[in-house]
Amino acid sequence: MGDEIERRDKGAVTATVPWEYAAAPESKEIVRIQDRYGLFIEGRFVDPLSGRTFETINPATEETLSVVSEAGPEDVDLAVRAAEKAWESSWRDLPGRERAKYLYRIARSLQERSREFAVLESLNGGKPIKESRDVDLPLAAAHFFYYAGWADKLAYAFPNREPRPLGVAGQVIPWNFPILMAAWKLAPALATGNTAVLKPAETTPLTALLLAEVIQEADLPPGVVNIVTGAGETGAALVNHPGVAKVAFTGSTEVGKIIRRAIAGTGKRLTLELGGKAANIVFEDAPIDQAIEGIVNGIYFNQGHVCCAGSRLLVQESVFEPVLDKLKERLGTLRVGDPLDKNTDVGAINSAAQLSRIKELVESGIQEGAEIYQPECHLPERGFWFCPTLFTGVSQSHRIAREEIFGPVLSILTFRTPEEALEKANNTPYGLSAGVWTEKGSRILWMTQRLRAGVIWANTFNRFDPSSPFGGYKESGFGREGGLHGLEPYLDLVPR
């Protein structure tokens, strides 16, 4: 340690890493992965009626971790019926303070077993342990705590109206924040008196199945939460089941549109949290070093597998060069590799399919004439990896400026005036998030009033809190999760 190690980048800038860290892998011993998992229906793990299973792997090594059940329509039917029964026989009539007790138990259990969950999350999803440990798990527990607090206060949340639960919520979640998305979906549903059937993503089922154990231990009435594993067909069977009263989906805009069409006219309630192409806007008066950290956190965090990632950087022309130089230098110091190593900044890409999608879009950037930059990067031989990448010379018409890449790839554009920044930022079919970096409070307000995005960060990026609503404009979806707003999609608000 302490040695100056010089790295020669592919580009012109030479980054200097102050020292290399010795490997510091988190032990896997704390996690017990079963060879095989059933479906979690009516409080028990059961074999799938479909008779089908699939393997779930570690994307950093391609090793098989376990074999998971694939729920067919008949399994989904069992799960929805169990949820209906639990709703009618106990959950909907339970006083809020009683429901809250269960939510508090789950929250505490997530805290107590946080390290176990974090290691499993990194093993199955490829994200760096420092993120699963310091971001995903604390936030997941915080979500259950937060909504536990609302469970007995719904009448105060919606004065002059009587809040009534809807019934069974069918919830489909993606692979980028598996346990956190499970918490975002389940906590408000249960707090408001609904029961749930949750379908985790096919590449990351394991922490949801561990959560099923926590739910058993918390002694939730059987059927209040059911967890069915499988891929798109299982998700489709769930959202189309007539017993489901409310659908909550997070994932691609493509599938969001399919779901919206499929349930149109059924009377089912729907919230969609879809893709994004957020602009991170840096003005010339911004604190540059701080902004560099925000840009890096905005797009390289979780390998860019973030719907609200700051995937488009808009830099004011006058500071373009210093920002680019510093950014390139910072890219050279990012540590890519073993997700379980505590020093890792960028982990594994979640799946082979996602990796090929990233490669395809990066290739299109090169073909369309943008200039690519990658630091020197030693990627492991097995597993799915992508080196942190940035593009300059990007124009609005390039695919890398328009399409969601969902990988560690930043597209840089420039602007001269606030009006131009605004016009470029809003020039996208998406509208999930945005970032503004400037010293001027008045400019922050001017921008936030005009940016068409659900979440806007000022002089920071990718910060989350359970009390703060999250959701999109335009093709990024509708409905809000988190905060007081996050209760509404799970309630009928009847005038008193």
Catalytic residues: 273, 307
Q: Does 404 bind ligand NAD (CB under 6 A)?
A: yes
Size of the site for ligand NAD (CB under 6 A): 27
Residue entry with tokens 């492991």: 380
Q: Of 80, 214, 245, 274, which one interacts with ligand NAD (CB under 6 A)?
A: 274
What is the Cα–Cα distance from 461 to 16, expressed in whole angstroms? 26
Side-chain-facing half-sphere of 148: CA atoms under 13 Å = 17
What is the Cα–Cα distance from 403 to 386, expressed in whole angstroms? 18
Q: Which stretch binds ligand NAD (CB under 6 A): 62-70, 152-160, 209-217, 270-278?
A: 270-278
Pairing of strands 433-437, 279-282: parallel
DSSP letter string over 135-172? IIHHHHHHHHHHHHHHTT-HHHHSTTEEEEE-SEEEEE
Q: Of 236, 309, 334, 361, which one interacts with ligand NAD (CB under 6 A)?
A: 236
Residues 134-168 as b or e (16 or more Cβ within 10 Å = b): ebbbebbbbbbbbbbebbbebeeebeeeebebbbb
Q: Of 71, 83, 137, 172, which one interacts with ligand NAD (CB under 6 A)?
A: 172
Residue 486, helix vs strand vs coil: helix
- 426 to each of 393, 431, 458, how far by Cα in Å? 19, 8, 17
Q: Which stretch binds ligand NAD (CB under 6 A): 211-219, 235-243, 372-380, 381-389?
A: 235-243
**Per CB under 6 A, which of residues 182..201 are in contact with ligand NAD?**
199, 201
**Per CB under 6 A, which of residues 249..268 are in contact with ligand NAD?**
250-252, 255, 258-259
Beta carbon nearer to ligand NAD, 353 or 445: 353
Q: Which stretch binds ligand NAD (CB under 6 A): 20-28, 149-157, 174-182, 444-452?
A: 174-182
Residue entry with tokens 């890219």: 331
Residue nearest to ligand NAD (CB): 235
Q: How far is the CB of 48 from ligand NAD (least distance, A)?
A: 16
Q: How far is the CB of 5 from ligand NAD (least distance, A)?
A: 35
Beta carbon nearer to ligand NAD, 251 or 375: 251
What is the Cα–Cα distance from 227 to 194, expressed in whole angstroms? 15
**Per CB under 6 A, which of residues 357..396 are in contact with ligand NAD?**
357
Q: Of 87, 373, 406, 461, which one interacts with ligand NAD (CB under 6 A)?
A: 406
- 36 to each of 64, 297, 343, how far by Cα in Å? 11, 36, 31
Q: How far is the CB of 58 from ligand NAD (least distance, A)?
A: 17
What is the Cα–Cα distance from 12 to 366, expressed in whole angstroms? 18
Instruction: Extract the runs of DSSP E, i.e. beta strands, from 286-370.
Output: 312-316
What is the Cα–Cα distance from 333 to 297, expressed in whole angstroms? 13
Q: Does 430 bind ligand NAD (CB under 6 A)?
A: no
Q: Does 226 bind ligand NAD (CB under 6 A)?
A: no
What is the Cα–Cα distance from 136 to 37, expressed in whole angstroms? 23
**Per CB under 6 A, which of residues 288..307 are in contact with ligand NAD?**
307
Q: How far is the CB of 303 from ligand NAD (least distance, A)?
A: 11
Q: How far is the CB of 291 from ligand NAD (least distance, A)?
A: 25
With beta carbons less than 8 A apart as the criterion, state whether 68 and 203 touch: no
Beta carbon nearer to ligand NAD, 13 or 231: 231
**Among candidates 24, 21, 23, 79, which has minimal Cα distance to 50?**
79
Burial of 95 (0-12, 13-18, 19+ CB in 10 A): exposed
Beta carbon nearer to ligand NAD, 292 or 308: 308
Beta carbon nearer to ligand NAD, 165 or 178: 178
Q: How far is the CB of 409 from ligand NAD (least distance, A)?
A: 12
Provide the β-strand partners of residue 58: 63
Q: Does 174 bind ligand NAD (CB under 6 A)?
A: yes
Q: How far is the CB of 329 from ligand NAD (least distance, A)?
A: 29
Q: Does 455 bind ligand NAD (CB under 6 A)?
A: no
Beta carbon nearer to ligand NAD, 316 or 428: 428
Site residues, ligand NAD (CB under 6 A): 172-176, 199, 201-202, 231-232, 235-236, 239, 250-252, 255, 258-259, 273-275, 307, 354, 357, 404, 406
